[in-house]
Structure 1
Amino acid sequence: MTMDMNDESVTSLAQLREFVKLSQCAEFKRTAGKARTYEWIGRTLGKFRYSSETKKNKAVIKEYIKSVSGYSDSQVDRLIKRKKETGRIFVKERTQNAFQTFYEVPDIKLLAEVASVFENPNGYALKKCLEDMYQIYGDDKFEKLSHISKSHIYNLRKTKIYTSRVLVYTKTKKTAIPIGERRKPDNQGKLGFLRVDSVHQGDLDKEKGVYYINIVDEISQWEFVGCVETISEQHLIPVLEELLELLPFKIINFHSDNGSEYINKVVANLLNKLSIHQTKSRARHSNDNALVEGKNGAVIRKTMGYVHIPKKHAILINEFLRKYLNPHLNFHRHCAFAEDIIDEKGKIKKEYKEYLTPCQKLLTIKNMEEHLVAGVTRELLETELKKLTHLESAKRLQEERLKLFKQISAKI
């Protein structure tokens, strides 16, 4: 049952005491709004001259207010204090401001576009790309995004605007050939220590697919990818030699796993001719060639996929890699560079705070000019870096890859 109460006839403290006693057997529920309740409490405090009463009588008035209003002891105390300080009790207007939206819809769309053409790199690499688009290439559209934090990139990736625009696409057997030194790769902090591996595009109905040759420098992560019909000497050696000649710095060491495509006399003779030392991975040390194996998945599989491509298309694919993928990898794709942190127990932990393109990393190396081959200069590298923006290069790569796949599909 609900009743409205009129307490105008309650005028003495004796009546309040009786009311408080009776109220212990009943429960009051406030239906009036906060403003009306505050007004009634202020009126009641003035009516019974709360501030001039004794401590005992004040307790009775407080208990009466608590019973009728439903407020707690601390709430009533705060309202009494406000009445004493200001002479009245009123509802404070809240002027709480919502967080201002800094990254607007066009910014999120632009972020989604960049992430999509770069095939969803991690937050660190994406942030660095956005910074470069504004700071190096002067694209004003990226002014806001150039200041975005890595963590907020992941926040924006959860928005509907972003998700609606982004589409997501046996160990080598041991060999007894005594060619190449079996040891842990050690770059000694110098350029020219290469990691090399092969990637197979798969078989279909006993027909072999194309093979990729992947070459990565340990220090700068400069990378070249080639494509061959088979990994026999006839097809592999010419492409391998071409890739080695394309590197802008002198080569010191050539490190591969124990696959027979590299551990053979023909490759050994080629490397000897170029004065390049050859090493190979140790048994039961799968991390010895981890850098290039990671690139196999992050670059080759991400770009070319896993679907079988017949070997007859090797020349067509190699042209695409040479013209579009390799320049993009070295001048426009950001890589993570590890820093060794030694904790208090002496354990080495790798932290990835630095994200640069291989060309940017190469330009930061001390005495870099001493390592460059004839005809390559710092100015030449800087000019090549600015020929296209990161975004333009990524879009061009996507367009040319689509053309390539259409050509391959038409010929299958």
Structure 2
Amino acid sequence: MAINMDEAKLRTVTQLQEFLDATQEINFTGAPGEGDQQRYEHISRVLKRLAYPNLGKGDRGVVLAYLRCTSGYSRSQVTRLVGRWESNRLATVPLAKRYGRPTVPFARKYTGADIELLVEMDRANEDVCGPAIVHLLQRAFCVYGDQRYERLSGLSVSHLYNLRKSGGYRALRIHFTKTRTACNPIGVRKAPRPHGRAGWVRIDSVHQGDLDGVKGVYHITCVDAVSQWQVQACVQGISEAFLLPVLAMVIDQFPFQIEGFHSDNGSEYVNHKVAKMLEKLRIEQTKSRSRNSNDNALAESKNTSVVRKHMGFRHTPQKYAKPINTFYQEVFNEWLNLHRPCLFATEVVSDKGKIKKVYKHRDAKTPLECLVLLNEAGLVTFKSDTTLDSLPSKANEKTDLQAAQEMQKPRPICLRYSTNRSKRDRADLAKQSAQLP
């Protein structure tokens, strides 16, 4: 709805104030199709009718508020227009727009034909650097007299890159490159199939956080896929200098023969030196497949239930790798495999023929107990220097409770207080750090 208002009878500031008080909830804007020039004329008439230059500060504020309300302009725009009117009042120059669209568009120096010539030159020279292309364009006109390159002979290097980014240039230089798959011949990309036999291990790394840009230690989790026999290790870094000796030690700590070695696609395990070591031991190396997160799920679950639970999440300096590794070999791995129960899955076939893994309460047993059952079924091959009788006798030397309590006592201070450290704990940690080489 459009309302036409004759405001010529508003000749005093008091009348303007009453008008504003009565129309606080109404905002006036220009009518559809009304240009800025009509608003400018309205502002000039109001200022002249009310003798704006002779008004006081308070009355001027009322007039400005009235103009903002009736013109639809912002406060800053109205202030600028009133200032212009005051400066041009004596010269009787009316308010008018001082800006607008250019009547003549900006001239285009380089045409579509020039873009085609540039594309031809770039394609022929296989996109060499900008200065070289500019020099070739200059030689095409100055040396060889090709008149087509007259405008391009004056092209600057900086504007050359602007032309290369233009839509016309890109439309002529579209090219597609097929995605190249990463072909790494190391390892076989498949999920290992142990078929119920012990000896196919899964391995993964856990980083113990950064602090001020300094890397922490790395925990190595290696667990058998069937018996869940687990060996933990710790290294300063995952480079070959630190990792290869630890991997050899981890494989040597398993009491049975290792036949398969499965990891994710990280370069710390998928490299030529690790492959050479596994080939020497006649161990098959496999790696996880794309979009198959369950290929290494067992090692990932042990990272949470064992490493993070007992070692915490806080940063551990690299100098503690050696005492942590000693703790793993002498105490922690023995407790994991001889006294800590694990849940083993039972495969249940549904009515539709789907195989589902169910974890029942009676399936909880230690890795040693599972190893004994596998030995009775002939599904494990022990090393020559290890016998099955030596493992149960070693486990019977202490109860599960005693083994867990003894595991807590010799833990390094950096692990014992990794989740919540008090002032006294930090003092003990600093003392132990000073004693380390």
Q: Measure, in 1, the Cα distance between the counterparts of 2:283 and 2:411.
A: 34
- 2:320 aligned residue: 313
Q: Which has the larger radius of gyration?
A: 2
Deviation at 1:212, TM superposition (A): 0.9
Within 5 A, what are the aligned runs for 1:342-353?
Answer: 342-353=349-360
- 2:205 aligned residue: 198
Q: Measure, in 1, the Cα distance between the counterparts of 2:349 and 2:429.
A: 50
Deviation at 1:185, TM superposition (A): 2.1
Deviations 1:235-285 (A, max 9, x none): 000011011011100111000000000000000000001100000000111
Q: Which of 365, 373, 394 in structure 1 is aligned with 2:383?
A: 373
- The answer on whether the counterparts of 1:369 and 1:377 sit within 8 Å (CA) in structure 2 is no
Within 5 A, what are the aligned runs for 1:282-297?
Answer: 282-297=289-304
Identity %: 45
Q: TM-score, with normalisation over the residues of structure 1?
A: 0.56
Q: Measure, in 1, the Cα distance between the counterparts of 2:331 and 2:429.
A: 17
Aligned length: 239
SS at match of 1:306: coil
Within 5 A, what are the aligned runs for 1:244-259?
Answer: 244-259=251-266
- 2:366 aligned residue: 357
Q: Measure, in 1, the Cα distance between the counterparts of 2:182 and 2:262.
A: 15
- RMSD (Å) for aligned C-alpha atoms: 1.7
SS at match of 2:211: coil
- 1:225 aligned residue: 232
Deviations 1:69-112 (A, max 9, x none): xxxxxxxxxxxxxxxxxxxxxxxxxxxxxxxxxxxxxxxxxxxx
Q: Measure, in 1, the Cα distance between the counterparts of 2:406 and 2:329.
A: 14
Q: Measure, in 1, the Cα distance between the counterparts of 2:389 and 2:295.
A: 35
Distance 1:400 1:339, change over 3 A: same
Amino acid of the structure 2 residue aligned with 1:357: T
- 1:333 aligned residue: 340
Q: Measure, in 1, the Cα distance between the counterparts of 2:182 and 2:331.
A: 36
Q: Which of 249, 273, 279 in structure 2 is aligned with 1:272?
A: 279
Deviation at 1:394, TM superposition (A): 0.6
Q: Measure, in 1, the Cα distance between the counterparts of 2:207 and 2:379.
A: 36
Q: Measure, in 1, the Cα distance between the counterparts of 2:380 and 2:341.
A: 24
Amino acid of the structure 2 residue aligned with 1:359: L
Deviation at 1:408, TM superposition (A): 4.2
Question: Which consecutive unaligned segments of at least 5 residues does structure 2 have?
Answer: 1-180, 416-424
Q: Measure, in 2, the Cα distance between the counterparts of 1:393 and 1:368.
A: 29
- The answer on whether the counterparts of 1:191 and 1:217 sit within 8 Å (CA) in structure 2 is yes
- The answer on whether the counterparts of 1:175 and 1:258 sit within 8 Å (CA) in structure 2 is no
Deviations 1:159-211 (A, max 9, x none): xxxxxxxxxxxxxxx96432100012211111100000011001100100000
Q: Measure, in 2, the Cα distance between the counterparts of 1:344 and 1:372.
A: 39
Within 5 A, what are the aligned runs for 1:237-248?
Answer: 237-248=244-255
Deviation at 1:397, TM superposition (A): 1.1
- The answer on whether the counterparts of 2:230 and 2:333 sit within 8 Å (CA) in structure 1 is yes
- 2:306 aligned residue: 299
1:385 aligns with 2:413: no
- The answer on whether the counterparts of 2:197 and 2:380 sit within 8 Å (CA) in structure 1 is no
- 2:270 aligned residue: 263
Q: TM-score, with normalisation over the residues of structure 2?
A: 0.53
- 2:216 aligned residue: 209
Question: Which consecutive unaligned segments of at least 5 residues does structure 1 have?
Answer: 1-173
Amino acid of the structure 2 residue aligned with 1:181: V
- 2:122 aligned residue: none
- The answer on whether the counterparts of 2:217 and 2:321 sit within 8 Å (CA) in structure 1 is yes
Amino acid of the structure 2 residue aligned with 1:323: E
Amino acid of the structure 1 residue aligned with 2:252: E
Deviations 1:198-233 (A, max 9, x none): 110011001000001110001110000000000000
Q: Relative contact order: is structure 1 or structure 2 higher (C-alpha 8 Å, sep ≥ 6)?
A: 1
Deviations 1:115-147 (A, max 9, x none): xxxxxxxxxxxxxxxxxxxxxxxxxxxxxxxxx
Amino acid of the structure 1 residue aligned with 2:224: D
Within 5 A, what are the aligned runs for 1:391-402?
Answer: 391-401=401-411
Distance 1:368 1:330, change over 3 A: farther
Deviation at 1:323, TM superposition (A): 1.0
Deviation at 1:388, TM superposition (A): 1.4
Q: Measure, in 1, the Cα distance between the counterparts of 2:405 and 2:183.
A: 46
Deviation at 1:381, TM superposition (A): 1.0
Q: Measure, in 2, the Cα distance between the counterparts of 1:294 and 1:258.
A: 17
Q: Measure, in 1, the Cα distance between the counterparts of 2:296 and 2:429.
A: 32
